[in-house]
Amino acid sequence: MGGEMQRLRALVFVGMMLLAPLAVWGAPHKVVEIEVQGMACQFCVYRVKKSLSQAPGVTQVEVSLEAQKARIALKPGREPDLALYEKLIRDAGFSPGRAQVFTEGK
């Protein structure tokens, strides 16, 4: 009887571990779009992306040279830190502009 209970607990645990990512997959998360002024080439894009990727809670960064914008996706439950993103853009050698925050995944 004890062995059956242990197997059942292990099965439930494994099932929970397999299903947990599905719960987060569709969970709402914040996205920040921020203007980046002064980029002139793909190396500029790389520098901004690398800098913003270091921010806590960031899951993905996309930077567009044509639009002169960065798009920062955050982990579910994380709130954006606009002051930090502006600092990271300045540290990369560029000027941050207007920022907008959206919620995706609802």
pLDDT digits (tens, 9 = 90+) for 16-63: 555 544 444 567 899 999 999 999 999 999 999 999 999 999 999 999
Q: In this structure, are residues 91 and 77 in contact, taking their beta carbons and an 8 Å threshold?
A: no
Distance of alpha carbon 14 from alpha carbon 18, whole angstroms: 6
Going from N- to C-terminal start, the domains of the chain cover 26-104
- What per-residue confidence (pLDDT) applies to 20? 46
- What per-residue confidence (pLDDT) applies to 10? 60
Residue 57: exposure state from Cβ atoms within 10 A (0-12, 13-18, ≥19) = middle
pLDDT digits (tens, 9 = 90+) for 52-100: 999 999 999 999 999 999 999 999 999 999 999 999 999 999 999 999 9
Per CATH, is 26-104 categorized as 3.30.70.100? yes
Distance of alpha carbon 50 from alpha carbon 79, whole angstroms: 20
Residue type at 33?
A: E
* Greatest alpha-carbon span in the chain: 69
